[in-house]
Amino acid sequence: AFLSLPRPPDRGGALAFAAMSFWGAAIKPGQKEKVDVPATEVLHLSQVCLHEPKTGKNYLQVAVAGSTYTLCCLEKDKVEHNSLDLFFGPDAPTFLNKGSSEVHLSGYLEPMEDDDDMDEDEEEEEEAAAAPSGPKAAAKAAAAKASPKASPKAAPKAEAKDAAKAKSPKVEPAKQSPKVAAKASPKAA
């Protein structure tokens, strides 16, 4: 048996937001629970826990699109709950409880995002990341546009270092130690 609370009514208007609703299921030992996810929503499975744990391991599995996967293994007095971050679309996942204890699942249903909305959101994020924010950044950007000088502040320092090197007396390479010199030169026979 599963529980899904109704969504709040859509009030419309400019500030419409995506509402999420709680979802939960209780699966008896050895039983299956098929979840019909509406075509316009996504099921987010967040938490799994044992209810009145009994001795032995409990494997929570999910069957989706003809394949079965084990999501977690729960055991009394060892691992009695597990946090998950799994999303299921309208493929009607079936959860299986292989064990001796009842397993409770909880999560929420949320509206599925349109690809068009995601593209617009990604573009806005890229623009925001590319453009510096804050009053100082805006002032710097305006000054850079107004100023014909395009070189960074570090360039004068680099030029000063180059000029100092040119003015300094020429330093001769260090002389080698006698041992190194002896090893490098061929021995006279």
Q: Comparing 53 with 118, which gets the higher pLDDT? A: 53
Examine the pLDDT at 29 and tell me if it is beyond 70: yes
3-state DSSP call for residue 66?
Answer: coil
186: Cβ contacts below 8 Å, ≥ 6 apart: none
Examine the pLDDT at 13 and tell me if it is beyond 60: no
Nearest-angstrom CA–CA distance, 103 and 82: 11
| Backbone angle region of 30, left / alpha / beta, with phi > 0 → left and psi within -120 to 50 → alpha | left
Examine the pLDDT at 151 and tell me if it is beyond 80: no
pLDDT computed for residue 167 by the predictor: 60
What average pLDDT is seen over the chain?
77
Arithmetic mean of pLDDT, 15-36: 86
pTM equals 0.54
Examine the pLDDT at 100 and tell me if it is beyond 60: yes
Examine the pLDDT at 69 and tell me if it is beyond 80: yes
Q: Which two tokens mark 93? A: 């996942």
**Token pair 């499975």 in the structure block, residue:** 45
Examine the pLDDT at 108 and tell me if it is beyond 50: yes
Check if the beta carbon of residue 106 is closer than 8 Å to that of residue 24: yes
